[in-house]
Amino acid sequence: MVVGDGESETGRLATSWHGNKFLNPVRDGAVLPIIHLNGYKIANPTILARIPADELEMLFKGLGWTPYVVEGDDPAANAPADGCRAEHCVTEIRAIQAATRANPDVEPERPRWPNDRPADAEGWTCPKELDGHKLEGSWRRTRFRFTDPVTNPAHLKMVEAWMRSYKPEELFDESGALIAELKAMARRGRAGLRRIRMRMAGCCGSRWRCRTSRVYGEGGEAGARFRCRRRRRWRIFWAM
């Protein structure tokens, strides 16, 4: 589960770090939280990225986790190590489960589940700057947009170079469809995102019967209204 550093300081998520207290390694599943520590949330710095690494480590240890940390701040150079660390965490989770499940009659001690923390730049792989404003590695990446690529050839070129940097020819076939290898990675059936009840704040308890009816509020007022067809009533969920 990848969690943004901004997201992870919102009330409910900040509290949910304590969810490990209720996990029974014999009976329950496990979650590997991967905290995407990229320094910013919307237009502000994040708290977790503003405390020293040793303090952050102590924080998560105090919350009962075994934190794993990336060294260095070059995301491209870190990528292979990120993969290895994540794999190590999964192996550790499996080992905890195997050890406790081998003796299901023994009351298990609460394990210190791992959590992982890669450090990427905010907006990593977006253009470095736009009209003199730093984008990658800055909160500005959510605030500055290409508004005129139709009339501004220089901006159009930048957008094209940016999009091509993701190598679309390796992701889509000639007809523009996603290649089979990637399609096969999507979760299906009951595990598919559309079928997960919690996907919209646990919206109404029916499987994919809710649809977003309209989002109201201009320019960032966070409030979405969902219509629940099964119960035939309106509900309002506030995201903030």
Ligand X SMILES: Cc1ncc(C[n+]2csc(CCOP(=O)(O)OP(=O)(O)O)c2C)c(N)n1
Q: Which stretches of the chain bind ligand X, using CB under 6 A?
A: 4-7, 10, 12, 38, 40-42, 46, 122, 222, 239-240
Closer to ligand X by CB, 172 or 216: give it. 216
Task: Please name the helix (run of DSSP H) or strand (run of DSSP E) that holds residue 234, with its range, or none.
Answer: strand 233-237
Neighbours of 225 (CB within 10 A): 15
Q: What is the largest CA-CA distance in the chain?
A: 70
Are 237 and 224 in contact, with CB atoms under 8 Å apart?
A: yes
Closer to ligand X by CB, 42 or 161: give it. 42
User: At CA 228, angle to CA 222 and CA 230, rounded to 5?
Assistant: 170
Closer to ligand X by CB, 89 or 121: give it. 121
Closer to ligand X by CB, 40 or 113: give it. 40
Closer to ligand X by CB, 210 or 224: give it. 224
55's CB contacts (< 8 A; 6+ apart) are none
Are 102 and 133 in contact, with CB atoms under 8 Å apart?
A: no
Nearest Cα neighbor of 28 from 92, 117, 110 is 110
The phi and psi torsions of 116 (rounded to 5 degrees) equal: -120, 150
